[in-house]
A and B are shown apart, each in its own frame.
Chain A
Amino acid sequence: MQGPTYAAPRPDAILLDFEGERQDIAVYETAGGYAMARSQAGRPFEEIVQELKDSGLRGRGGAGFPTGLKVSFIGKGSRYLVVNADESEPGTFKDRELMLRNPHALVEGCVILCNAIGAGAAYIYIRGEYATEALVLDAAVAQARQRGYVGATLPGAPGAVEVYVHRGAGAYICGEETALLSSLNGERGQPTAKPPFPAVSGAWASPTLLNNVETVATVPFILAMGCKTYSELRTEQTTGTRLMSLSGNVARPGNYELPVTATFGDLIDGCGGGVPAGRSLKCFIPGGSSAPILMPDQLDVQIAVETCAAAGTMAGSGAVIVIDDRTCMVQLALRVADFYRHESCGKCTPCREGTRWMVELLKKVESGQAQRAEIDLLLELCDRMEGKCLCPLGDACAMPVRSYLQHFRAEFDAHVEQGGCPGGAASPFGALYPELKRSLPLVPA
Chain B
Amino acid sequence: MSTTATNVVTVTFDGRDVQVPAGTPLVVAAAQVGVEIPVFCYEPRLGPPIGACRMCLVEVELGGRPMPKLQAACTMTAADGMVVKSAATSEQAKEGQDAVLEFLLLNHPLDCPVCDKGGECPLQDLTFRYGPATSRMTLAKRTYEKPLPISPSIVLDRERCILCYRCTRFSSDVAEDGELIARERGAQSVIATFEERPYVGAFSGNVTELCPVGALLPTPYRFKARPWEIVNVPTVCQGCPTGCNTWATVREGRAERILSRLNPAVDEGWLCDRGRFARHEPLADRLTRPLLRGADGLQEISFAAAARTIAQRLRHVDSLHGAGSVAIVTGGSLTNEEASAWGRIAADVHARTASGPVAAAGAWERLDPFAARIDDLDRADVVVVVGDADVTDRAGVLDLRIRAARRRGAHLMIVSSGGTLLERDCDTFRPVAAGTAAASLQALVADPGPLVGATHPVLIVTDPIDLGHVAAAAHALGLQERGGVLPLPTGPNERGARQAGLAGGGDEVLAAIESGAVRALVLLGVDPTADWPEADRWQAALAQTEHVVTLSPFVNTSVSWSHVVLPQAVDLEREGTTTNLEGRRQRLRAAVKPPSGVADLAVATAIATHLGIEIARTAPQESEPPPRAKPGRATKAPAIRAANVTAGRFALVAPRGLFTGPAVERTAALAHQRAPWVMLNHGDAAALGLSEHDRVTVRHGGGEHTGPLRTSRRLLEGTVRINWAGSPVAGEAEVVRA
A and B held together in a complex = yes
**Known contacts A349-B100, A443-B139, A443-B140; is-contact A193 B187 (Cβ 8 Å):** no
Q: Is the CB of A356 within 8 A of B186?
A: yes
**Known contacts A341-B187, A344-B186, A345-B185; is-contact A193 B51 (Cβ 8 Å):** yes
Q: Is the CB of B136 within 8 A of A377?
A: yes
CA distance A443 to B103 in the complex (A): 19
Q: Is the CB of B104 within 8 A of A349?
A: yes
Q: Is the CB of A348 within 8 A of B186?
A: no
Give the chain A neighbours of B189 by CB distance below 8 A.
346, 352
Give the chain B neighbours of A385 by CB distance below 8 A.
99
CA distance A292 to B138 in the complex (A): 28
**Known contacts A193-B75, A364-B139, A384-B95; is-contact A349 B53 (Cβ 8 Å):** yes
A147 contacts chain B at the CB level, 8 A cutoff: no
Q: Is the CB of B57 within 8 A of A388?
A: yes
Q: Is the CB of A348 within 8 A of B52?
A: yes
**Known contacts A346-B182, A377-B136, A383-B95; is-contact A390 B52 (Cβ 8 Å):** yes
Q: Which residue of A lies closest to B55 (CB)?
A: A349
Q: Which residue of B lies closest to A389 (CB)?
A: B54
**Interface residue from B68, B103, B136 paired with A350 (Cβ < 8 Å):** B103
Give the chain B neighbours of A349 by CB distance below 8 A.
52-55, 100, 103-104, 162-163
Q: Which residue of A lies closest to B97 (CB)?
A: A388
Contact with A along B664-693 (1 / 0, CB 8 A): 000000000000000000000000000000
Q: Is the CB of A347 within 8 A of B187?
A: no
Give the chain B neighbours of A374 by CB distance below 8 A.
138
B70 contacts chain A at the CB level, 8 A cutoff: yes
Contact with A along B61-92 (1 / 0, CB 8 A): 00000001110100100000000000000000
A368 contacts chain B at the CB level, 8 A cutoff: no
A76 contacts chain B at the CB level, 8 A cutoff: no
CA distance A225 to B54 in the complex (A): 47
Contact with A along B175-200 (1 / 0, CB 8 A): 00000001011111100000000000
Q: Is the CB of A344 within 8 A of B187?
A: yes
Q: Is the CB of A193 within 8 A of B50?
A: yes
Residue from A341, A349, A360, A443 with most neighbouring chain B CB atoms (10 Å)? A349
> B18 → chain A, closest Cβ, in Å?
22
B106 contacts chain A at the CB level, 8 A cutoff: yes
Give the chain B neighbours of A327 by CB distance below 8 A.
none
B96 contacts chain A at the CB level, 8 A cutoff: yes
Instruction: Say what secondary structure dominates the interface of chain A.
Output: helix
CA distance A352 to B189 in the complex (A): 9
Q: Is the CB of B99 within 8 A of A356?
A: no
> A2 → chain B, closest Cβ, in Å?
39
B712 contacts chain A at the CB level, 8 A cutoff: no
Q: Is the CB of B186 within 8 A of A390?
A: no
Q: Is the CB of B103 within 8 A of A343?
A: no
Q: Is the CB of B185 within 8 A of A346?
A: yes
CA distance A384 to B97 in the complex (A): 10
> B460 → chain A, closest Cβ, in Å?
28
Q: Is the CB of B96 within 8 A of A346?
A: no
**Interface residue from A347, A353, A364, A390 paired with B103 (Cβ < 8 Å):** A353
Within 8 A of B (CB), among A357-391: 357, 360-361, 364, 374, 377, 383-385, 387-390
Contact with B along A411-445 (1 / 0, CB 8 A): 00000000000000000000000000000000100
B635 contacts chain A at the CB level, 8 A cutoff: no
Q: Is the CB of B54 within 8 A of A357?
A: no
Contact with A along B132-152 (1 / 0, CB 8 A): 000011111010000000000
B499 contacts chain A at the CB level, 8 A cutoff: no
Number of interchain pairs (Cβ within 8 Å):
99
Q: Is the CB of B72 within 8 A of A346?
A: no
**Known contacts A353-B106, A357-B137, A387-B69; is-contact A171 B52 (Cβ 8 Å):** no
> A397 → chain B, closest Cβ, in Å?
11
**Interface residue from B99, B182, B186 paired with A388 (Cβ < 8 Å):** B99
Give the chain A neighbours of B51 by CB distance below 8 A.
193, 348, 390
Q: Is the CB of B54 within 8 A of A350?
A: yes
Q: Is the CB of A360 within 8 A of B188?
A: no
A307 contacts chain B at the CB level, 8 A cutoff: no
Q: Which residue of B lies closest to A386 (CB)?
A: B69
B560 contacts chain A at the CB level, 8 A cutoff: no
Q: Which residue of B lies closest to A187 (CB)?
A: B172
B102 contacts chain A at the CB level, 8 A cutoff: yes
Give the chain B neighbours of A188 by CB distance below 8 A.
182
> A195 → chain B, closest Cβ, in Å?
8
Q: Is the CB of A352 within 8 A of B187?
A: yes
Q: Is the CB of A388 within 8 A of B188?
A: no
**Interface residue from A193, A352, A387 paired with B186 (Cβ < 8 Å):** A352
A342 contacts chain B at the CB level, 8 A cutoff: yes
Q: Is the CB of A346 within 8 A of B163?
A: yes
> B541 → chain A, closest Cβ, in Å?
56
A192 contacts chain B at the CB level, 8 A cutoff: yes
**Interface residue from B49, B70, B98 paired with A387 (Cβ < 8 Å):** B70
Give the chain B neighbours of A390 by CB distance below 8 A.
51-52, 54, 72
**Known contacts A192-B50, A390-B51; is-contact A350 B100 (Cβ 8 Å):** yes
Give the chain B neighbours of A387 by CB distance below 8 A.
68-70
Q: Which residue of B lies closest to A346 (CB)?
A: B189
Q: Is the CB of A171 within 8 A of B185?
A: yes
Contact with A along B27-55 (1 / 0, CB 8 A): 00000000000000000000011111111
CA distance A354 to B102 in the complex (A): 10
A302 contacts chain B at the CB level, 8 A cutoff: no
Within 8 A of B (CB), among A174-200: 188, 192-193
CA distance A430 to B119 in the complex (A): 50
B107 contacts chain A at the CB level, 8 A cutoff: yes
Give the chain A neighbours of B650 by CB distance below 8 A.
none
Give the chain B neighbours of A348 by CB distance below 8 A.
51-54
Give the chain A neighbours of B163 by CB distance below 8 A.
346-347, 349, 352
> B158 → chain A, closest Cβ, in Å?
13
B13 contacts chain A at the CB level, 8 A cutoff: no
CA distance A341 to B69 in the complex (A): 22
Q: Is the CB of B139 within 8 A of A346?
A: no
Q: Is the CB of A343 within 8 A of B54?
A: no
A355 contacts chain B at the CB level, 8 A cutoff: yes
Q: Which residue of B lies closest to A390 (CB)?
A: B51
B364 contacts chain A at the CB level, 8 A cutoff: no
CA distance A357 to B69 in the complex (A): 22
Q: Is the CB of B186 within 8 A of A345?
A: yes
> A403 → chain B, closest Cβ, in Å?
19
Give the chain B neighbours of A352 by CB distance below 8 A.
103, 163, 186-187, 189
B165 contacts chain A at the CB level, 8 A cutoff: yes
Give the chain B neighbours of A344 by CB distance below 8 A.
185-187
> A444 → chain B, closest Cβ, in Å?
8
CA distance A355 to B106 in the complex (A): 12
Q: Is the CB of A346 within 8 A of B184?
A: yes
Q: Is the CB of B69 within 8 A of A353?
A: no
> B76 → chain A, closest Cβ, in Å?
9
Residue from A345, A352, A390, A443 with most neighbouring chain B CB atoms (10 Å)? A352
Q: Which residue of A lies closest to B181 (CB)?
A: A188
Within 8 A of B (CB), among A29-44: none
> B646 → chain A, closest Cβ, in Å?
45
**Interface residue from B50, B98, B106, B182 paired with A357 (Cβ < 8 Å):** B106
Q: Is the CB of B187 within 8 A of A355?
A: yes
CA distance A346 to B184 in the complex (A): 9
CA distance A356 to B54 in the complex (A): 17
Give the chain A neighbours of B186 by CB distance below 8 A.
341-346, 352, 355-356
Q: Is the CB of B49 within 8 A of A193?
A: yes
CA distance A353 to B107 in the complex (A): 8
CA distance A350 to B103 in the complex (A): 6
Within 8 A of B (CB), among A254-294: none
In the assembled complex, 8 residue pairs joining A and B whose CB atoms fall closer than 8 Å, in A order, are A341-B187, A346-B182, A346-B185, A364-B139, A384-B95, A390-B51, A390-B54, A443-B139
10 tightest A-B CB contacts, nearest first: A346-B189, A384-B99, A344-B186, A356-B187, A353-B103, A193-B51, A387-B69, A193-B75, A360-B139, A346-B186
Q: A347-B165, A352-B186, A357-B137 are in contact. List 7 more A-B contacts (CB 8 A).
A: A345-B186, A348-B53, A349-B104, A353-B187, A356-B187, A384-B102, A387-B70
